[in-house]
Amino acid sequence: MVKSESPVSGPALVHRRGSLRGRLVALKGMRLSVGRDQGNDVVVDSPVVSTRHALIFLDEEGGRGWLLRDLDSKNGTYLNGREVLEHQLEDGDVIRLCRNGPEFVFAATGSIDYMNDSTVTFNPADFTDPGREGAQERGVKGVCRTLGRELERSSRRSTRAILFSAAAVCAALLLAGWYFAGGPVRMAGSLASRPAVELDLGPIYSSLFHSYREKGIGEVRVRNTTSRTLQAARVEFTLEGEGRGYLVEDLRFELPELAPGEIWTKRLNPLLSRKVVTERSLEVTAAVRLEAGQELLASANRAITIYDYHVFNWQDPSKVAVFVDSNDAAVKAFVDSAWGHRPGVSRYEFPPAQMVTAVTLLSALNGHKIGYKPDARTPVSVSEGAETSDRVNYPGETLLRRSGDCDDIVVLCCSVLEAADIPTAVVVGSSHVIMMFDSGLSSIPASAGEVPGNLFSEESWVAHKGRLWIPVEATELARPGGGFTAAWAAAWRYKKQIESGELPVIEIREGWKRYKPLHPPPPADVLAKIRQGSLWRQEGLAAAAEAALRVVKTFAGENLQAAVNELKRSCDGLELAQRSSLLYTQAGFYREATALLEQAVFDGKVPPDAGAVRSWGGKVTFDLAILLTDLALAVTLSSSSVAELERAVEYYRLALGGLPDELPEKSECMLRLGLVQKMRGDLKAYRKWVDQAIEREPRLREKLDRLERGDGRVASTAPDRQLLDYLRSRMAAIRL
């Protein structure tokens, strides 16, 4: 409550009627808010006064002096008996909150006494009692009694003062007669003849501030409720109170001509500043003004909430992408520290390198011992309503705190894998979320009947856009005894719901196109922890990753073995070996295919090295030669050293001895032998075999030309990728 003040020299408000009658408030600053709420500069305890009723402020920019503005109050703001939205104040203006509510006088000079005895205040409600007499009669009698008292009190005053009092009471009498005769009506030029403006806004989530420029925060509507065409009008939207500075620029729109009854709607797409990213939720005032020239036609304001940057809602599940941040400093440090523990794998071997990396990083998170901590305040829920809000931690926060609920851990897992360039997705349930990642494998077999549908059992993977995705129950990574294989198996039950579309799948990279990651700057203490790095260097990470990958490979191998067992019912001998090895080779099990073919070719007596292969004296038949070309291909694709490539060379040489000259397979075998020689760094042998192959089969020149369009470098210690890609593509040409 504002205390009484002595008269001052500057502008002031004088309370003339109401609970603060007789008190004076100096306008010391440039703004003075009036209302029932305790946060106002002037607090008026009256039921007819709105929480934030009116604002008195100095218009320095416009040069209009002191202005009175109604803040969309329930009962209106009146100036000298007329309802106004905004008006310039002059010395002696009477301000009322509600038609018959508390009353103030604006004093341009605070020293003027606006509470002298010659002032007569009149309130018809003081003389109105819903008793037996008619309201009008009681009002008139009350006024007469008041007039009598005033005349008696004024007998000692000057004639001028008496006449002034009498005039004031007569004016009040006329006003009372109008009031009780018909009640208040809108006069010409009042709000009834003005257009209306409306605001339709929702809350602002600071985590999504990047997106509001495109998607908007709501809309403003102007209704022409008058009988005349609305011309040359404009609308201005602002954020006030604590919201000042949150808009890079206020929104201003020029309205087209609006005929009577027409409605104009405009989407509000503000450019928000970084200031809106707040650590605490707060309430601000959104205000809109409709003006024509210097005249205020209508205004509206409403309080809206700006949520802190951890909060979002599930109205559009894609919004979760703002929390997945592959550039988070802690995430990048974690991935860098775990990268060196990846088990080695050939480019074309199973599991693919992408899956090896994913299994390693998820095993590292399990080793980091992140605990599951439910969010009791805001659990994930999309079934309770689209506007249900949830609180999500950013990946670096979860990593450093070592705890979080399901959405926190899923966000962390996706961020870590995306930092390693592995596509991820969030799967949203009614009260839970899981994640899945792209394995690097196609969900469609290379050719029907060659690879058994998939390497994994049907329930263990998700077919999504032609790719094989691995679902992961991320919370299993945070449970004692958990790990990648447990997290994978726990997510199998969601497969049918995901593939049927019952559960929404949010691809993070697609979500980023609509909602950019917020990437809040980490506090200084967090940066210090990140620099330490040792926080997540866990001993035994490589062993844990290798163990998980063995399970994956065994799991896939079991399905391949089932397919081989099926083949045994229709063939045997060299044909079984050739067809079985083809299944393993096409699946990326090159070392397993190599072992199987070596056993078949050499009848269990496998030469230990390339020299022993050269000295092998066995007879090479046509069927055996075909197996040797397959064997050489499997060895080449899995090789990681020159020694292994030498072994492949000897297998090709043996195969050539069993292939008839007239068959095109012999020319193809020569070309492959030449390519392997190039990988070894022997360019002379490369040219010899390639020239022989082209001489026998000229069509091979085109294939060779495509290969030699590369940089021409020769890999001396590892297979040339370009050549390997070619050999890998030739796998489809292997005949059963």
Q: Across the beta sheet with 86-88, what order do the strands follow?
A: 42-43, 31-35, 54-59, 65-70, 86-88
pLDDT band at 680 (very low <50, low <70, confident <90, very high): confident
Instruction: Measure the CA–CA gap between 39 and 405, rounded to whole angstroms.
Output: 38
CA nearest to 278, candidates 329, 208, 328, 378: 208
pLDDT in tens, 356-415: 999 999 999 988 888 888 765 544 433 333 456 788 999 999 998 888 999 999 999 999
In this predicted model, which residue has the larger pLDDT, 135 or 307? Answer: 307
Please state the rounded mean pLDDT for residues 140-155.
41
Tell me how far apart the terminal alpha carbons of the chain are, to the nearest angstrom. 95
pLDDT in tens, 90-105: 888 899 998 888 888 8
Q: Of how many residues is the chain composed?
A: 736
Instruction: Measure the CA–CA gap between 140 and 333, rounded to whole angstroms.
Output: 85
pLDDT band at 721 (very low <50, low <70, confident <90, very high): low
116-125, 273-282, 570-579, range with greatest mean pLDDT: 273-282
Least confidently predicted of 102-116, 407-421, 580-594: 102-116
Burial pattern 502-513, b for ≥16 Cβ within 10 A else e, equals ebbbbbbeebbe
Within 659-713, residue ranges assigned H as helices are 664-680, 683-696, 700-707
pLDDT at 257 over 90: yes
Please state the rounded mean pLDDT for residues 635-660.
87
Instruction: Measure the CA–CA gap between 292 and 230, rounded to whole angstroms.
Output: 9
Please state the rounded mean pLDDT for residues 590-595.
86
pLDDT band at 437 (very low <50, low <70, confident <90, very high): very high
* Parallel, antiparallel or unpaired: strands 54-59 and 31-35: antiparallel
Instruction: Measure the CA–CA gap between 720 and 722, rounded to whole angstroms.
Output: 6
Please state the rounded mean pLDDT for residues 206-219.
90
What angle is formed at CA 33 by the lines to CA 32 and CA 36, rounded to 5 degrees?
Answer: 145
Instruction: Measure the CA–CA gap between 134 and 149, rounded to whole angstroms.
Output: 23
* Parallel, antiparallel or unpaired: strands 65-70 and 54-59: antiparallel
In this predicted model, which residue has the larger pLDDT, 133 or 578? Answer: 578
Q: Across the beta sheet with 282-292, what order do the strands follow?
A: 204-205, 295-307, 282-292, 234-240, 251-254
SS3 182: helix
Q: Give the burial class of 329: count Cβ atoms within 10 A of its Cβ; 0-12 exposed, 13-18 middle, 19 or more buried.
A: middle
Q: Which pLDDT belongs to residue 348? A: 65
pLDDT at 213 over 60: yes
pLDDT band at 727 (very low <50, low <70, confident <90, very high): low
Instruction: Measure the CA–CA gap between 231 and 454, rounded to whole angstroms.
Output: 69
Q: Give the burial class of 526: count Cβ atoms within 10 A of its Cβ; 0-12 exposed, 13-18 middle, 19 or more buried.
A: middle
Crossing angle between the packed helical segments 700-707 and 683-696, to the nearest 10 degrees: 150
Instruction: Measure the CA–CA gap between 506 and 491, rounded to whole angstroms.
Output: 16
State which H helix or E strand residue 734 sits in.
none
* Token pair recorded at residue 31: 């703004």
Within 84-233, residue ranges assigned H as helices are 135-153, 159-182, 212-215
pLDDT at 536 over 80: no
Cβ contacts of residue 421 below 8 Å, gap of 6+?
none
* Token pair recorded at residue 1: 């409550």
CA nearest to 46, candidates 10, 64, 78, 20: 20
Q: Which pLDDT belongs to residue 345? A: 65
pLDDT band at 527 (very low <50, low <70, confident <90, very high): confident
Burial pattern 36-58, b for ≥16 Cβ within 10 A else e, equals beeebbbbbebebbbebbbbbbb
Phi, psi of 720 (to 5 degrees): -70, 125
CA nearest to 12, candidates 1, 26, 23, 22: 26
Q: Which pLDDT belongs to residue 388? A: 65
pLDDT at 193 over 70: no
State which H helix or E strand residue 651 sits in.
helix 642-658
CA nearest to 413, candidates 462, 475, 479: 475
pLDDT at 562 over 50: yes
pLDDT cut 70: percent of the chain above it? 77
- Cβ–Cβ < 8 Å for 102, 44: yes
Least confidently predicted of 21-25, 182-186, 574-578, 685-689: 182-186
pLDDT band at 665 (very low <50, low <70, confident <90, very high): confident
Residue 679 half-sphere exposure, CB side, CA atoms within 13 Å? 31
Least confidently predicted of 43-57, 279-293, 458-472, 561-575: 561-575
* Token pair recorded at residue 394: 């950013």
CB atoms within 10 A of CB 279: 9
Instruction: Measure the CA–CA gap between 681 and 632, rounded to whole angstroms.
Output: 18
pLDDT in tens, 43-84: 888 888 988 999 998 887 777 788 899 888 888 898 988 888
State which H helix or E strand residue 591 sits in.
helix 590-601
Residue identified by tokens 């205390």 is: 3
CB atoms within 10 A of CB 271: 11
DSSP secondary structure of 492-515: GGGHHHHHTTSS-EEEHHHHHHHS
pLDDT at 115 over 80: no
Within 292-428, residue ranges assigned H as helices are 329-339, 353-367, 395-401, 406-419
Q: Which pLDDT belongs to residue 242? A: 83
Q: Which pLDDT belongs to residue 701? A: 83
pLDDT band at 322 (very low <50, low <70, confident <90, very high): very high
Omega into 351 within 30° of 0, i.e. cis?
Answer: yes
Mean pLDDT of the chain: 78
Q: Which pLDDT belongs to residue 72? A: 83
What angle is formed at CA 627 by the lines to CA 622 and CA 628, rounded to 5 degrees?
Answer: 95
Q: Which pLDDT belongs to residue 685? A: 92
SS3 382: coil
pLDDT at 550 over 50: yes
Q: Which pLDDT belongs to residue 452? A: 42
